[in-house]
Structure 1
Amino acid sequence: MNLLLAEVAQATQRLADAGVPSPRFDAEELAAFVHAVKRGELHHVKDADFDARYWEAVARREAREPLQHITGRAFFRYLELAVGPGVFVPRPETESVVGWAIDAVRAMDVVEPLIVDLCTGSGAIALALAQEVPRSRVHAVELSEQALDYARKNVEGSRVVLHHGDALTALPELDGQVDLVVSNPPYIPLTEWEYVAPEARDHDPELALFSGQDGLDTIRGIERTAHRLLRPGGVVVIEHADTQGGQVPWIFTEERGWADAADHPDLNNRPRFATARRATP
C-alpha cells in the first residue's frame, strides 16, 4: 500500500469516529481533490508527491464542514456545480425529483417546453432540465444574493435564464404559459432545528432550510405561484421532507384548481416529492 492509501485509511477511521455518514467516500474524495486526480487514480500518487494539506482538509471534514464546501464543487446528475458557503448544497435525493420532471416534460406534446425552477439555489435543477430536455426554455428564480452568485457561475453559457426574486411573486409575465414548475424549497419545521445534520444546520443557509412551524409555509406559497404560472394541464413537482408525504399532496386540492395530486418515493423508497396537474377548466 502506498503512503496516500495508508493515509486515506487513517482518515476514514477519523471521519467515522466523528460521525461522518460516508467516511470512506469522503476520505477518498478529499485525497483526490487535494492531489488533483480522480478517486480511481489515488494509487498512482507517488509517496514523494503526498500533500500534507490532505490532513487540513480531513480536519475540516472531521469538524462536519460539508465535503462540497471544502472542494468547492458538488455533483448532481451529469453536472459539476460550484458551491460553497451561502448556497444550499444539492443532495442526491433531489435527483429523483428531476428524473420525474424530465419524464413528465418529455411526455408532453410541446415542442419547446417552458419550465420554471423556483428556489433554484445553485441552479442544479434548472441546469439539469436544460441539459436533459434540449429544446426546453428554463427560467430559474432565487432570492438570496449569495446563492445567486453561485447560480450565475453555474448557468453561464447555458440556456437557463436566471432571475433575482421571491418565488412567491416571481415572473408574472409568464402567468398561464408555463408547462412545468419545479422546486426544492425550504421545508424543515423550525421545531426540528436540533435534529438537523450539522453539515446542513451549521453551513447551509437558513433561508434554504426552514419554513415555519410545520415546514410547509413556502410550499403553500409555491402552490399559489405554480397555479398562477402554469397553463391548464401544466404540472408542478415539489420536493418535501420524507415525514411530510401525507401532508403536501393535500395542499394541491381540487378546490384550489388541481388534479392528480400524488406523492412519490426517492431512491430509498421514502416519500420525497409531490406532483399535481393544473386542472383544465
Structure 2
Amino acid sequence: MSSSVLTPSAGTRSSSTVTHTPSGATLAQVLATATAVLEAADVPSPKVDAELLAAHVLGVSRGRLATMVMLGESFSESDAPAFAQLIASRAKRIPLQHLTQVAYFRYLDLFVGPGVFVPRPETESVVQLAIDVAATLTNPLMVDLGTGSGAIAGSLAHEVPGAQVYAVELSEQAYAYAARNLEPLGVTLVRGDLTDALPELDGRCDVVVSNPPYIPANAVPREPEARDHDPAMALYGGGEDGMVLPRAAAASAARLLHPGGYFVMEHAEVQAPAMAAMFRATGHWENVKTHQDLNGRDRATSGVRR
C-alpha cells in the first residue's frame, strides 16, 4: 500500500559530514552517537529517530536494522555522509517524516513532506470510530473533509470493504500529496473548500469524518516540528477559539449526511465542551458524544444526523 520513496533523495547525499564515522564503526556505535546528538537537541524520541533514519539510509526495515545491530555489523562508510546529514537536519527539528518522506498511519505508508500536515497517531482513534460505524453498513458512502495527506480517507478506503470514499482538500500542495497517496486506493479526491464541497452528495452520505484546522489564533504550538514546518493553513481554525473551520465542517457534514448518518470530528482536548455544545446548539445532531484518544484525552466529538 506504500506510495513512499524509501531511498535517500538526492538532497540527502552530501560530501560534508557532521560527525566523523570511524572506519569499521559498528551500527551500534554509530546509532549511539547519533542518538546522543538528537538528545542534545531535545528531539522527543532520539533513539527511535536515529534508528528510523539509519534504516531509511540503508534501505532496510527497522526490524532488519535491529538484527544487523545484534549481529555486530558495521555501518557502511559509503552511507555515512547521508546519515550524518539527516541526523544534523533532525537535530534542527526538521520533522522526521520530511526527511524520510513517509508517515506511518494505521496500515498505510503515506508520502509526505513540506507543505502538508504530518498525520498524528491521535487521529488513528478518530478513524476507528468511523470504521466501527461503517462496518455495520453495506457499501457505505463516506467523506473526509480536509484530507491533507489523505490519511483518513485512505484508511477508510483500505479498511472498509465496499466503501465509496470521497476526500476534499483546498491546499494545492497538500492536494498533490493526497493525490499520490489516494490514487492507488480508489478514493475520489476533490480540490475544494470543505465549507461547500460535494453538493452532488447532499443528503446521501452515510459517514463524514473531519480533522479540520482547529488551533486558536494565539495558541502557537510549542513543538518546533509543528510550529515551523506544518503549514499554518492546516493548523489554525480561525477566530480566537479556533472554531471557525470546525463549525464549517459540522455544517457541511449536516448537509451531506442523510438522517441517521454519522459525523465525527477531531479537536483539541480543551475544545471538547465547546464542540459538544456547538453540536447540540445547531439542532442537527442527536446522540452527541465526546471520545478520548489512547492517551485518555478528549480528542473527538460525534453525532448522528437527525
Q: TM-score, normalised by structure 2?
A: 0.87
How far the C-alpha of 1:48 sits from its partner, in A, is 5.8
| One-letter code aligned to 1:202 | D
1:27 aligns to what? 50
In the alignment, which of 252, 257, 270 is matched to residue 230 of structure 1?
257
113-122 vs 205-214, greater mean Cα deviation: 205-214
1:142 aligns to what? 169
1:44 aligns with 2:44: no
How far the C-alpha of 1:261 sits from its partner, in A, is 1.1
233-242 vs 38-47, greater mean Cα deviation: 38-47
Gap runs ≥5 in structure 2 = 1-23
- In 1, are the aligned partners of 2:102 and 2:110 still within 8 Å (CA)? yes
13-22 vs 27-36, greater mean Cα deviation: 13-22
| One-letter code aligned to 1:79 | L
Q: Which runs of 4+ in 1 moved over 4 A?
A: none
Identity rate, percent: 52
CA distance in 2, matches of 1:140, 1:153: 13
How far the C-alpha of 1:9 sits from its partner, in A, is 1.1
How far the C-alpha of 1:157 sits from its partner, in A, is 2.2
What do you get for the CA RMSD once the two structures are aligned? 1.5
CA distance in 2, matches of 1:227, 1:246: 20
| One-letter code aligned to 2:230 | D
Cα 1:9–1:113 change in 2 (3 A) is same
- In 1, are the aligned partners of 2:209 and 2:263 still within 8 Å (CA)? yes
1:256 aligns to what? 283
69-78 vs 207-216, greater mean Cα deviation: 207-216
| One-letter code aligned to 2:114 | P
How far the C-alpha of 1:44 sits from its partner, in A, is 2.3
1:90 counterpart SS class: coil
1:156 counterpart SS class: helix
1:201 aligns with 2:227: yes
Q: TM-score, normalised by structure 1?
A: 0.95
| One-letter code aligned to 1:129 | L
1:252 counterpart SS class: helix
1:131 aligns with 2:154: no
How far the C-alpha of 1:118 sits from its partner, in A, is 0.4
How far the C-alpha of 1:13 sits from its partner, in A, is 1.7
1:63 aligns to what? 92
15-24 vs 55-64, greater mean Cα deviation: 15-24
In the alignment, which of 202, 207, 224 is matched to residue 180 of structure 1?
207
Gap runs ≥5 in structure 1 = none
CA distance in 2, matches of 1:61, 1:254: 45
CA distance in 2, matches of 1:262, 1:90: 23
1:168 aligns with 2:192: no
CA distance in 1, matches of 2:117, 2:282: 34
Render the CA deviation track for 1:84-129: whole Å, top value 9, x for unaligned.
Answer: 001111110000001111001113xx32100000000011100100
1:120 aligns to what? 147
How far the C-alpha of 1:39 sits from its partner, in A, is 1.3
Cα 1:2–1:134 change in 2 (3 A) is farther
| One-letter code aligned to 2:68 | H
1:101 aligns to what? 130
